[in-house]
A = this chain, B = another copy of it.
Amino acid sequence: MPGPSANKLDYTLVALADPKRRAILRRLAQGEARVTELAAPFDVSLNAISKHIKLLERAGLVQRRRTGREHVLQFEPEPLGGVQDWITKQTAFWQSSLEAMDDLLRREDKADKKIAEVQS
């Protein structure tokens, strides 16, 4: 989706949203590799993989180091922390809301009992 106003988290999630890119990251988690090596397992063109790597770079998930004509890619886990933070906050919000609703239901229950007492 990223237009001109996209932020880091957007880029990270876009980068992770493709199975080939996730496979590339898994591969890089075991150690650096060159573009050709990364492309080998896939049955698409080298150019296609080159583009995938660019999206991973944009997200900060890989870093590139040139050694002569070879480009060595390295896995950079930091942006994954941003995703985890978002998920953590999101579920935290949700759970606190559930607890709040629980309280509310409990209070309503008490009120109902009071009314029942008065009416009985």
**What is the interface of chain A, defined by CB distance below 8 A to chain B?**
1, 7, 10, 13-14, 16-19, 22, 25-26, 29-31, 75, 77, 80, 83-84, 86-87, 90-91, 93-94, 97, 101
Q: How far is the CA of A85 from the CA of B97 in the complex (A)?
A: 24
Answer whether A87 and B93 are a contact pair too, CB < 8 Å, given A1-B18, A17-B14, A17-B17.
Answer: no
Please report whether the interface of chain A is mostly helix, strand, loop or mixed according to DSSP: helix
Does A80 contact B84, Cβ atoms closer than 8 Å?
no
Interface centre among A17, A80, A93 (most CB of B within 10 A): A17
Contacts of A90 in B (CB 8 A): 22, 25-26, 29, 77, 80
Q: Is B87 touching A75 in the complex (CB atoms < 8 A)?
A: no
Q: List 14 A-B contacts (CB under 8 A).
A: A1-B17, A7-B19, A10-B19, A13-B14, A13-B17, A22-B86, A22-B90, A25-B90, A26-B90, A29-B91, A31-B97, A31-B101, A75-B94, A84-B87
